[in-house]
Amino acid sequence: MTNGGTNRGSWNSNIGFVLAAAGSAIGLGNLWKFPYIVGRHGGAAFVVVYLIMIVVLGFPFILAETALGRHARTNMVDAYTTVRRGWGFVGVFNFLASFFLLSYYGVLGGWVLNYLWQFIKGGVESGSAEQYFAGFTASTLPPILWMAVFIALYAVIVSHGITKGIERFSNFAMPLLLIMMIVVGIRSVTLPGAAEGLSFYLKPDFSKINLSTIGVATSQAFYSLSLGMGAIITYGSYVKRDANIVRMSAAIPILDTIVALLAGFVILPAVFSFGYDPQQGPGLIFVTLPAVFARMKFGAFFGALFFVLVLFAAVTSAISLLENLLDVVGEKCRLSRGKTVLLLAPIMFVSGLPSSLAFGPMQGFTLFGMNFFDLMDFAVSHVLLPISSFFLCIFVGYVWRPRNAVREITSHGRYRFVLSGVWTALIAVVLPAVILGITIHSFWTVGG
Ligand code: PHE
């Protein structure tokens, strides 16, 4: 590898970065979280706010992370200290956010694996999908064992390295996922009574928008684009010096948003058609999808295929989180990739246990009305993620300085970046102000 004079790896091709970063972005945040958040926060009006946040805040932020990563060419903690000593703490926030997210991501990955297995065995009874979900998640051992399988899966892939493991894996799963979502989406929107769901999803009622909707939409945009965790800094650090970052980074929000919007078409019409409660939260896709597949010819087959693809999406996101942690731990402790994976995988397992048990034996443990799993999700989405994104903006805006960042973005003048003035204003002023505002607001109204 001849990049930047260091011995870090690099992507085999620019499309390698795009697919891997899109693989990181497209995950359970799109397939599992987006539909239930839309369900909870008022449907179409929320979607509109979300789209605005993706364009106005998400895209500039992706550029900042990618540029910082490529500039520093090191792990995400040292990326800050390379530019200015004393700023490694931002990387530590990124690290913590990644760690806590990965801990409960494993629980969800385990659920996906279990559903995949159920479909391979012939499907979940549509009439009792809700009871099945409640029973499975409330049990102690099965979800934990499935979580262990999920962790083993992403750990093995990461141990194979960034090009052999991650790049190859992302290259075929994503296109297939899109095709399958269109197929299942068509079934969903043609169900009897689907129209009500479609209008909920597509006809905005702007009276439903308030400050907390904006906060939730912003944090969902960041979560879905894998921002504020250093993941894109890490992936950016493998990008070649002469690659066009603007063009590459633009592809990520586009792909990510297509998948999120499709997930809404798959889930929401079906929710209304079957009379489920769109507000029910984290169980929404796990309850709705089995009912959709039960109405399809060869439903068990399509169900299994669909959950394989959901699994791919979840795995590629988990991979980026582990890669992120591994890069820091490996370089700091001078451990090989394989050894770092062996160290981190059991830690991820143990740290995921309380989130898994939160639906069963630990159900009684709640804080601010949330069980442990929801608490983790809240801590990541509404506390760690905003804090670390806020400091990243301050860092780029006032420490590294937009002028230097733009030089990196344009590969030292090789490419044009017409929006550099707008970008500077967004990253240095608008973004930190918005993030600060919604964070203060969300602390005020804990539980949103
Ligand atoms: N973007 C991923 C998803 O939507 C989650 C994620 C966040 C992954 C941050 C990596 C880093 O599921």
219 lines ligand 1 (CB under 6 A): no
pLDDT of residue 427: 97
Measure the CA–CA gap between 12 and 216, rounded to whole angstroms: 36
Question: Lowest-pLDDT range, 49-53, 120-124, 264-268?
Answer: 120-124
| 76 contacts: CB under 8 Å, gap ≥ 6 | 69, 91, 94, 95, 230, 233, 234, 237, 324, 327, 328
Is residue 226 within 8 A of residue 236, CB to CB? The reply is no
Q: Tokens 């809404």 map to which residue?
A: 264
The secondary structure of 41-106 as a DSSP string is TTTHHHHHHHHHHIIIIIHHHHHHHHHHHHHH-S-HHHHHHHHSTT-HHHHHHHHHHHHHHHHHHH
pLDDT confidence tier of residue 162, bands split at 50, 70 and 90: low
Is residue 11 within 8 A of residue 5, CB to CB? The reply is no
Q: Tokens 């990181």 map to which residue?
A: 24
How far, in Å, is the centroid of ligand 1 from the Cα of 380? 11
Q: Tokens 């608008």 map to which residue?
A: 430
Measure the CA–CA gap between 287 and 292, rounded to whole angstroms: 9
pLDDT confidence tier of residue 253, bands split at 50, 70 and 90: very high
- Is residue 6's pLDDT more than 50? no
321 lines ligand 1 (CB under 6 A): yes
Residue 300 corresponds to which tokens in the numbers above? Answer: 């068990």
Measure the CA–CA gap between 154 and 314, rounded to whole angstroms: 9
Question: Lowest-pLDDT range, 126-140, 190-204, 385-399, 407-421?
Answer: 126-140
pLDDT of residue 1: 33
Beta-carbon neighbour count of residue 204 at 10 Å?
16
Measure the CA–CA gap between 303 and 297, rounded to whole angstroms: 11
- Of all protein residues, whose CA lies closest to atom 6 belonging to ligand 1? 226
Of all atoms in ligand 1, which is nearest to the CA of residue 314?
12
- Please state the φ and ψ torsions of residue 2, each to the nearest 5 degrees: -110, 25
pLDDT of residue 429: 97
How far, in Å, is the centroid of ligand 1 from the Cα of 107? 14
**Predicted model pTM:** 0.92
Is residue 42 within 8 A of residue 228, CB to CB? The reply is no
30 lines ligand 1 (CB under 6 A): yes
pLDDT of residue 16: 78
Q: What is the DSSP letter of 243?
A: S
Q: What is the DSSP letter of 208?
A: G
How far, in Å, is the centroid of ligand 1 from the Cα of 223? 6
Beta-ladder partners of 367: 370
Is residue 66 within 8 A of residue 226, CB to CB? The reply is no
- Is residue 127's pLDDT more than 80? no
